Structure formats: C-alpha cells, structure tokens
Amino acid sequence: MTGSSFIQIDSGHDNEPASLQDTPILGPKWFKLPALTLGFIGLQALWSVEMSYASPYLLSLGLSKSHMAIVFIAGPLSGLIVQPLVGVLADNSKSRFGRRRPFMIGGAILTAAATVLFGFARPVAGAFSEEGSGLYRTLSIWLAVFAIYVMDFSINAVQAVDRALIVDVLPTGLQPAGNAWAATMLGAGSVSGFFVGYIDLPHLFPWLGGTQLEVLVIFTCFFLLSTHAMTAWCVKEEPFTDLDPENSEKKSFRTELRSIWENALTLPKTIRSIFMIQFFAWIGWFPVLFYSTVYVGDIYKSGLPDSVDPGSDEVDAEATRLGTRALFWSACISLFCNFALPFLVSQTAKRRTIGDLFRAEDGAFKRISRKFQISLPMLWALSHALFSLCMFSTFFVTSTFGATVLISLTGIAWAVTQWAPFSLLGEAIHSESAAHNYEGEETIRLADARSGVNNNGYVLANTDGDEGEVEEEDEEQQLVQSEVEGPSPTQHRANDLSAKAGAILGLHNICVVIPQFMVTGMSSIIFAFLDPDKSVIHHGKVPNAPASTPPMNGTVSTEDANDFFARAEGDGGSGGTIGIIFKISSVFSTIAFILALRLAKDLKRR
C-alpha cells in the first residue's frame, strides 16, 4: 500500500470526506471509522477481565504468590515476541482474504477458546479428576495458567493486526481520526468491562455458568468475536501485490526475525523519537495499570481505626471495590476525553481528527474550536506532564477520596496515550513512504501545527507571513496531489515503509513491553527491601464470587498486616511501597514529557 494514494487535495470543500468515502470500508461515511475500529471494544473488554480477575482467580485456585510473577510475565513476553513477528508475517501475507483479516479472525477465535478455558478451569479439571483431590487442584492451576498464556499470545496477535489495519486502510490525513476512534472504542470496552463485571451475572444468566467469572468470559468472548467479525466483514482488503516480484520469495522464520532487526536499524528519526518517548512513558504507566487498585486499597486501610482488622475479608472486599471504582471513573474520563480532545487538535491538509469532521460542517463551531487548538505532538507532551504531576502528587495524598481523584485524572493522559503515538506513527510511516516513492522531493513532514485551512477548501496556508514557507508548503501540496496517481493501495515496494507497517508497529510494541520487564524487576526489589510481608497482588476475594470459593493461598496474616500498617503510618498513609513506585514513575514520565516536547518543537520547525 502506498501511504497516501487515497489523499486528494484541491479547492473543493468535500475533498476529505471524499477521501474517507474512497476507503475500502462498507457503509456510509459516518459508519466507516467506527466499523474499522469496532474490534477494539472486544479487545479491551477481554483485557479488563484478565486484569481484574486473573490474579484473585489464580490465588483462589491455590497458586502461590511466589509463582504469580511468572504467570504475569505472559503479557509483556507475548508483546515482545508475538506482535513484531505477526506484524512481519502479515506484511508479507498473500492470502486472498487480505493481509490482516486472516490473522485477526484466527487470533480472535483462539483467544476466545483460551478465555473460556480460563473461566471454566475448575469444571474442565473436574471432568478428569475428583473434585477436591490433589490432582484436581493441580490440574485446575495448570489449565488456568496455560489459558492465560494462550490468551496473551493470541490477543497480542489480534491487537497487532487491528492497529496495522488502520495504517493500511486510512490515508495520512485520516490517521489521527482513525486512531482517535480506536482509543474511543478502547475506552468503551474498558467501561463496559467494568460495568458488566459489577452486575450479578449468575443471578441473571444462570444457564451460562455458576460463577461470576464463568458468565463473564462468555459475554467477553461474544464481544470479542462479534466486533471483529463486523470489522472483517466491513473492511474489504485486496490480496497483497508486490511491485518487485523478482526479489519476493518465501521467507523463513529466521529471515522474518532478521527483517525485524533490519527494520529497527533503519527507522527514520521521527519514528525513533516516538519509540524512545514510549519507552520512558511506559515505565511510568505500567505500575499504574496494575497497582492502582492496591494503591487505593492501601490508603483506605491505612485510615481505618485500630479496632478494625485490616486483613479481614470484609475490609479486603471494600478496598478492592474502592480501587475498582477509581479505575472505573478513570475509564469514564478517558472515554469522554477520547471524544473531546480531538476537537482541540490542529486541523491541517494532512491531519484530520474526529473534531475536524464536525468543524468542516459547522462554521460557527469551527471558529470557536480553533481558538483552543493545539498540535497533536504538543498535546501528547502535555499528557505526559499531567501524568507526571499526578504521580508526584502521591507525596501529598492521604485519603481515599484524594487517591480516587488522582487515579481518575490519569484517565485524561491515558486517553491521549491510546491515541496520539499511533496517529503520529501512522503519519510518519505514510510521509516517509511518500518521500521515498517520489525522488527529487524532500521528506514529507508531519503536519505543522502552524498550518491553517482557508474557507474554500482544505489547502495548506501560511499564518506566519513567511513567503519561503508558503513556497515549501505549495511544493508539499503538489507532491501529495501527485500521489493520487500512484500505485494501488494493495501494491508495495519492498523498501516502502507503508509495506512494513505491521513490523514497525511490532517494534513499537517492543518499546512498550520492555519497560514492563524493567518495572517488574524494580518493583520486586522495592517490595523485597521495604515491604517483605505484603504481596503486590491484592488478596481479597473475587468480586461477587460465590461463598463456596476456597480461601486463597498465602493470605497475609493479621499480625503481618498490622505490622505493615504500623510501618506504613510513617509515610502518612501515602500508599506505602506502591506510592514509592508511583513517585518513581513520575521521574520517568517527566523524561517522556521532555522528549515529547522536543519532538513537538522539532516537527513545528520543519
């Protein structure tokens, strides 16, 4: 696919809507972007179930806490291996169904099967052993652990092709809008996952399962399969056609790995900068995603009177509920921001957001919204600053309400994190590809925040009065116009970046998962030295779990809990060791902010 072959720029008012209309997605114009990104709802719903229920469920099966870290390495490990590899395999796929859709549907089916096995590990183990026996307990644990690894590996494959499909199908100008819709769908999936998890599902749907988790995995699998089936049906990929067939050959597994390494060494500067920002940002994000519930719960417990046992099941359940409530509000704020923030992003001839689609139709709204516009790179930088400020504020938060507000505010930064880097990557991939395909021209730049739009059409305009800049932008406009006659979207040159979108997104994912390994090691050291008597994983019961759920192995004793909270009083109830990790996150988030600010200024100067 040639990156910008869909882009059309002239003086007409309907250019960009025509570009969206020309994309290979079924349905009316307003339906195309939601249809393309609908699968992200099911994707995030499944992640929400795993993050909320995996740890307490494994503990309820009898798995020791010392083995818990080994199980949860599955997430970053699968992201490190699966996404880059699947990206390369999909990039070179010549299936008649397209490059992405076979991996999407196959991965979704495998994920659904593993999810059902995870939720029904006990009944499946009971079919091969006597309930209550040692074999039953061991088999239940192994089935659940195996299911988690299959879930993580297969869902990462689905996530890789979901992201790559956006890059493939949408032109440069619609990359931010497409990724903003993806972020919106992720937010909707997160909110729906938390909401459905609160409902007493066994009471309403007893024929689907006897426990909350059993019924929940059925609903989650339905969301996952139905949303991806809709996307696969609406998006019409054409078979891959290589423009250089003489050099095309069947690649071995070793060749695919070498291709990933070569791509990493030859990335353009802008893409490398995005990767570096993501690396430091995710050192800060990983603890928040996994430890927020524990953080809020610890602050709640630190404020209890001495007469209350902080290790009781009732207190654990309330602490978990309060932590989950904070995450729910964070998800709601994130979902709202996914709708609102695109209206603040600068509109240019090459970048269009969801807000631009509305601004183009409403002149009054257009004038009002443009007063508060900001470039997408700068918005990304400010989101890192906000997140760093939230993490630094853990020094001063000592109440459950304050902790809830703090975690909720991170939803603003999370909304941008789910959207901005992928939009900038998509634009960079298309821009570099266009510059490579048309020799004699300079590399197409990411859209400058200073560029405006006149009232007669979506044409690059100068707002600084710099004549030299006008000439450069005119050349850029002509270059993009010439791309309309370029190769078809399904034809690729071997060294065209847009033909390697899957591999590049896979490399991006490596920069996201490596920090997760680092944070896991760092957290283990901090807990070992500062808080050896308390596990990171909360030991409360599974929410809405039946009373017959056996006690979880390794529950902290009352004496140990009291000892911990006595020591925690020294830090003013600011979250204990989890609070320390959050404060360290603030440092790395500040580094990400500085790098993102530098990138924003660099793109503005181009």
pLDDT (tens digit per residue) in 359-393: 455 555 455 556 667 888 999 999 999 999 999 99
Q: Cα–Cα distance between 289 and 281 in angstroms, integer?
A: 13
The answer, yes or no, to whether residue 10 has pLDDT greater than 50, is no
pLDDT (tens digit per residue) in 135-177: 888 999 999 999 999 998 999 889 888 888 888 888 877 877 8
Alpha carbon 304 to chain centroid, angstroms? 36
pLDDT (tens digit per residue) in 81-137: 777 777 777 777 777 777 788 888 999 999 999 999 999 999 999 888 888 788 888
Of the two residues 295 and 593, the one the predictor is more confident about is 593
Count of residues making up the chain: 606
* pLDDT given at position 379: 93
The answer, yes or no, to whether residue 440 has pLDDT greater than 50, is no
The pTM of the whole model exceeds 0.85: no
Residue 180's CB is within 10 A of a number of other CB atoms, namely 29
The answer to whether the beta carbons of residues 7 and 122 sit under 8 Å apart is no
| Torsions phi, psi for 199 (to 5 deg) | -75, 145
The answer, yes or no, to whether residue 448 has pLDDT greater than 50, is no
SS3 for 349?
coil
Q: Cα–Cα distance between 348 and 310 in angstroms, integer?
A: 56
Which residues are CB-neighbours of 258 under 8 A, at least 6 positions away?
Answer: none
Which residues are CB-neighbours of 575 under 8 A, at least 6 positions away?
Answer: 295, 298, 299, 394, 397, 403, 582
Q: Cα–Cα distance between 103 and 87 in angstroms, integer?
A: 10
DSSP of 298-337: HHHHHTS-TTS-TTSHHHHHHHHHHHHHHHHHHHHHHHHH
- What's the mean pLDDT in 425-452? 51
Q: Confidence band (pLDDT; 50, 70, 90) for 606?
A: low
Q: Confidence band (pLDDT; 50, 70, 90) for 66?
A: low
Q: Confidence band (pLDDT; 50, 70, 90) for 565?
A: very low
The answer, yes or no, to whether residue 576 has pLDDT greater than 80, is no
The answer, yes or no, to whether residue 447 has pLDDT greater than 80, is no
Q: Confidence band (pLDDT; 50, 70, 90) for 257?
A: low
- Return the minimum-mean-pLDDT range out of 213-222, 504-513, 558-567: 558-567
Q: Cα–Cα distance between 129 and 132 in angstroms, integer?
A: 9
Write down the mean pLDDT value for the chain. 72
Q: b/e per residue, 490-501, with b = 16+ CB within 10 A? A: bbbbeebbbbbb
* pLDDT given at position 100: 83
- Catalogue all structural domains in the chain, each as residue range(s) with its CATH number: 32-170+188-235 (1.20.1250)
Beta bridge partners, 452, equal: 461
Helices marked H in 418-491: 420-437, 467-482
* pLDDT given at position 140: 92
pLDDT (tens digit per residue) in 184-211: 888 888 888 877 776 778 888 889 888 8
Q: Which of 29-43, 300-314, 484-498 has the highest mean pLDDT?
A: 29-43
